[in-house]
Structure 1
Amino acid sequence: MMLKAEKEPSKRRQLIGILIIGLVLLTTGYCLYKPLPEGFTITKWDRVVMHVVEPALRVAYYYPSRMFSKASDMIFWTRGTLNVLTKTLGIFTTNNQLEIKWHNWNGTPVKSYRPLDNRTTTDGAVIFIHGGGFALGNVDMYDSLIGRLTVEMKTLFISIEYRLSPETVFPGGIMDCEAAIDHFFKYGPRQFGVNTSKIVIMGDSAGGNLATVITQRRAARQASPKLAGQVLIYPLLQMADMQSISYRYFRSRLQGYALVDPESVAYYYMFYAGIDMDEKAYLVPSVTSNGHIPRRLRPQVQKMLSHKSVIESVHNYRNHSVSEISAVEWSVEAQELLEPFLANPDFSPLMRDDLSNLPPTMVITCEFDILRDEGLIYAHRLKTSGVLTKAIHYENGFHAMLNFHSELDEATKAVNDIEQWTLETIARA
């Protein structure tokens, strides 16, 4: 009888413990819940996934990163956290169909991906440059995506491990990528059997910046062989206008979500420029309000952004209200520090005047992305310059969605579009 009496309190304690845990989880979920904007992904499954993933990202890196007093500590925390988290995303189960090897080309580590026994169906290749605001990310984080592209396209991929800021500043990343690419053009035919006239360069976010810059630089010096094409996936192309409608929509509707935000872009871009943001963090409000543009550069900036009015009249977020342009916080110090970079096309490739000699280009933009407008503007400028351009805008997409290529229908759609265009471009070259 005593044993039975003892078991009953024990069961009650277990039940109470389960109820307490359940209550804590429900309370936590309630506190973290933020309704996704209308149109942010479209299928029910995608929205369920993002209702789980987005709060998890907030807890894992977004909230903790805001607690650091030094900007560099914020970057290092985010870098480490994302390195771990991405290993649980985009799970691709056919890596046993791949031959993956590390190489060192002119001092730059690269990873090659090709189907086993070199069962490729093209003699071209794709050079991929990963994103991360010049400060985050690495080749391994993109293993799943690049593995999928390699298997489905049956094409050689080369992924470049360039150095990151703040340890390595502009133009270090460019130099790393160009050193590796020069090696590939010289030795690729012998090592991999590729035709160097059928090479496409591809990059996402800051990697899209580097891909754009490298393509422009090769075209400007008439480098041979020419690139067959470039794929720019929600590219980061400028920091002269951080009050475009896509930036202002973020402030109106997306503030607090674990998405790329204006302040982070300012921090990352300024670290990349070699500015010590541990000391100069007070300049961020001036940069995000466009108070960092020197008077002498304003006409040039306005010229390069002249298509902005066209973009904003067509892409207006389904007529949802967007905050007005905020008051500019002018800063002479920010202007002096950033003057060498804002109009430098190697730093802000949207600022390059002549785009006429560039190869066929695919530009991917997403509706829920502060970088949306600069991608749309660049695609428009390419078209008006006579460059064969395929611009696809994903009205339900968001920045970095390809990192969820196995989880989201919207990302799978983008992967399929990228594969089709790239294979067609290689075949035409």
Structure 2
Amino acid sequence: MLSGILSFIFTLPNWLLLKLSGAPQIVHGERQLHPPMQFFISLMNKRKAPEEINLENFRKIYDWSGQIYKKMPKSVSWTDHEINIGETQIKCRQYSKDKSTAKSALLYIHGGGFTIGSIESHHHLTTYLCDQLDMQIFSVDYRLAPEHPFPTAIDDCEKAFEWLQKNSERFNLDPNQISIGGDSAGGNLSTVVSLRRKRANNSLPKSQMLIYPGVGADFDNGSMQRCAENFILTKKVMEWFHDCYRPGHDDTENIPTEIAPILADDLDGLPPALVITAGFDPLCDEGEAYAKKLSTHGVKTKFLEFSEMPHSFVTMAFIPGVKERLNEIAAAFKTLN
């Protein structure tokens, strides 16, 4: 029902959506916020702040938000698998496109500040990527903080990558054609897994898809200041995520590069990377800086900024214009590979 209501609202002209948002179009320099996004953000800002909601409900709401858009590509099917990690198991969902003969895959790591999110919150996104990329997608349900703080999520995601390589024949994959990617915290985990494996001289992902990755530890840079409030992901929520992921460490010195990979000086040799940023996102500046640093270290890097979009836009396919941006991301990733 909600999907139908939103679909109707988004048929309204941009001028009316801006009027309903209660403010003129938001502009930061040359960046202009996408009017349908501005309207949706105005609705989101009327709810309780995330830090005012208990964690269990926050997770339920976030997972539910990923189910708003009901139109799934009919060409894609999925199967759930279990990955053994010590005495526990984590889930990994395999997405396959009908009649595809591709032997490549993308291990996808969902966002959510290491604290919320699941394969359900990103189910539409991973289904759509499978259809657009024409490769298998494996979405990993890594364990979340604060119950499982740093570095558990990294360990889980690396184990998932190793599991996928070891089972490549079972899934009709070329073990050398397995890429890694994710959004926000998932972008962090993707590049940290790559960095960890490079340091250990282990096999690397073929390439990296880093969608508005959280790769730094500077809460005072330009985009952090511009987008500190009222743009879905706020500075206050980011600080809360950080406290959950690495409790008891509020210092800004001696930060591990597995927390903030932008601080690493050994980025050379990492897999080719597609780095995506959003103009109305606290993570915008650090994502761009990371792309530049990768390139400086000799890593083949492709950078795209969607200047009119906010954080989390890739999971909002119900908003006009988002699917077109997803298509651009898929096309750019294909050229990287």
Normalised to the residue count of structure 1, the TM-score between the two structures is 0.68
Render the CA deviation track for 1:71-99: whole Å, top value 9, x for unaligned: xx2x333222222233113x3332x3222
- More helix per residue: 1 or 2? 1
SS state at 1:366 partner? strand
- Asked if 1:123 is matched to 2:35, the reply is no
Aligned to 1:201, which of 180, 194, 202? 180
Aligned to 2:270, which of 358, 376, 380? 358
- Asked if 1:99 is matched to 2:77, the reply is yes
- Offset at 1:384? 0.9
- Offset at 1:258? 4.7
- Asked if 1:182 is matched to 2:162, the reply is yes
SS state at 2:112 partner? coil
Whether the 8 Å CA contact 1:206–1:236 is kept in 2: the answer is: yes
Whether the 8 Å CA contact 1:259–1:399 is kept in 2: the answer is: yes
Give runs of aligned pairs for residues 203-282 of structure 1, distance below 5 A: 203-224=182-203, 226-239=204-217, 241-251=218-228, 255=229, 257-275=230-248
Quick one: which amino acid aligns to residue 400 of structure 1? S
SS state at 2:223 partner? helix
Whether the 8 Å CA contact 1:61–1:81 is kept in 2: the answer is: no
Q: Which runs of 5+ in 2 are unaligned?
A: 1-17
State how far apart, in whole Å, the 2-side matches of 1:425 and 1:173 are: 26
Normalised to the residue count of structure 2, the TM-score between the two structures is 0.86
SS state at 2:257 partner? coil
State how far apart, in whole Å, the 1-side matches of 2:306 and 2:289 are: 15
State how far apart, in whole Å, the 2-side matches of 1:136 and 1:176 are: 15
State how far apart, in whole Å, the 1-side matches of 2:258 and 2:183 are: 17
Give runs of aligned pairs for residues 319-338 of structure 1, distance below 5 A: none
- Offset at 1:360? 0.8
Give runs of aligned pairs for residues 313-324 of structure 1, distance below 5 A: none
- Offset at 1:406? 4.1
- Offset at 1:51? 4.2
Aligned to 1:388, which of 286, 297, 300? 300
Greater Cα shift, 75-84 or 164-173? 75-84
Aligned residues: 313
Counterpart position of 2:93: 111
Render the CA deviation track for 1:186-223: whole Å, top value 9, x for unaligned: 112x2111111111111100000100100111111221
Aligned CA RMSD, in angstroms, stands at 2.2
Render the CA deviation track for 1:167-200: whole Å, top value 9, x for unaligned: 1101111111111111110112x21111111111
Distance 1:219 1:88, change over 3 A: same
- Offset at 1:66? 5.1
- Offset at 1:58? 2.4
SS state at 1:140 partner? coil
Q: Which runs of 5+ in 1 are unaligned?
A: 1-28, 276-282, 298-338
Aligned to 1:149, which of 118, 129, 141? 129
Distance 1:193 1:272, change over 3 A: same
Whether the 8 Å CA contact 1:105–1:183 is kept in 2: the answer is: yes
Whether the 8 Å CA contact 1:124–1:199 is kept in 2: the answer is: yes
Counterpart position of 1:10: none
Quick one: which amino acid aligns to residue 230 of structure 1? Q
Identity of aligned residues (%): 26
Larger gyration radius, structure 1 or structure 2? 1
Counterpart position of 2:334: 423
Whether the 8 Å CA contact 2:26–2:33 is kept in 1: the answer is: no
State how far apart, in whole Å, the 1-side matches of 2:307 and 2:64 are: 29
- More strand per residue: 1 or 2? 2
